[in-house]
Structure 1
Amino acid sequence: MLRSILLGLAAGSRAMTPLAAVANAARTGTLPRDSAAPDLLAHPLVSAGTTALAVYELIGDKQHSAPDRIITPAVVIRTLNAAFAGAMVAPRRHRWAGAAAAGATAAVASYISWRIRMKSMERNSQEATGFIEDALVVPAAIAAATAR
């Protein structure tokens, strides 16, 4: 369940990163053996597509026109992406619990990470705070997706 929660924390900051990490882990065969991931997730096009969306989000986050992560559609997308990713890394018999844990964590983490980011931006640029956030979130999502 810890992997699911960690993916939820990552989704609170970057909605697509957990899904991309899970798809890439499925493609490379590094997901836990008893995961609930479907074969489709391991398809190279799915892996490439989710990675492209995650990279786009990493770039877009640094733009001044980027919407806040706490607007309702953003929180819903983060919650659903995290729930799916959290279910995929949970053991098959606990996939619903993994989905619930990741989704709930993502919803709460969206608000907490937004508050921290806004506080940090009082002293630092949007770009600098975004890169720091990326440096924490991306490796955490990859570790959660590939942990054995």
Structure 2
Amino acid sequence: MLASLLIAAVSGMRAMTPLATVANAARRGELPRGGGAPALLAHPLVSAGTLALAAGELAGDKMKTAPDRIILPGMVARVATGAFAAASLAPRRQRTLAAVLGAGVAAGASYLTFRARAAAMRRYGQTATGVVEDAIALGTAAVAVRVAR
């Protein structure tokens, strides 16, 4: 369940990174057999598409016009991807629990990281704090996939 909670926390920082991480791990055969990841995630087009969306989100986050992550559409996306990615990394018999916990963790992490980033931005600026947050999100996502194996 640790992998599910970690990937859900990443959803609080970046909505698309967990999907891209899980899809690319599935495509490379790095997820445990009999887990919760749907076979569709392993398709090369799904992998490439989620990677493109995640890259766009990473770039867009540094823009001055980027909306706050805690507005309703952003929260819906984060909760949905948190639940889906958490279920995808969970053992099949724990998918429902992982999805529910993943949704909650994603929501909580959204608010926590929003407040932390806002505080850091006052001192270090939007781009620098965004790059640090990207590194934390990508590193945590990679750890989540390793833990899931």
Which residue pairs with 2:101 in the alignment? 101
Q: Which runs of 4+ in 1 moved over 6 A?
A: none
Which residue pairs with 2:66 in the alignment? 66
TM-score, normalised relative to structure 2: 0.97
Query: How far did 1:33 drift?
Result: 2.0
Query: How far did 1:26 drift?
Result: 0.3
CA distance in 2, matches of 1:72, 1:126: 21
CA distance in 2, matches of 1:146, 1:81: 19
> Is residue 25–residue 146 contact of structure 1 (8 Å, CA) maintained in 2?
no
Structure 2 gaps of 5+ residues are: none
Matched pairs, number: 148
CA distance in 1, matches of 2:140, 2:132: 13
1:37-52, aligned counterparts within 5 Å? Answer: 37-52=37-52
SS, match of residue 29 in structure 1: coil
SS, match of residue 124 in structure 2: coil
Query: How far did 1:32 drift?
Result: 1.8
Which residue pairs with 2:2 in the alignment? 2
SS, match of residue 99 in structure 2: helix
Letter in 1 for 2:139: P
Letter in 1 for 2:58: L
Query: How far did 1:130 drift?
Result: 0.2
Deviations 1:1-26 (A, max 9, x none): 11111011101010000110000000
TM-score, normalised relative to structure 1: 0.97
Pairwise CA RMSD: 0.8
Query: How far did 1:73 drift?
Result: 1.1
Structure 1 gaps of 5+ residues are: none
Query: How far did 1:146 drift?
Result: 3.5
CA distance in 1, matches of 2:115, 2:48: 31
Deviations 1:31-72 (A, max 9, x none): 122311121110000000000000000000000000000001
Which residue pairs with 2:79 in the alignment? 79
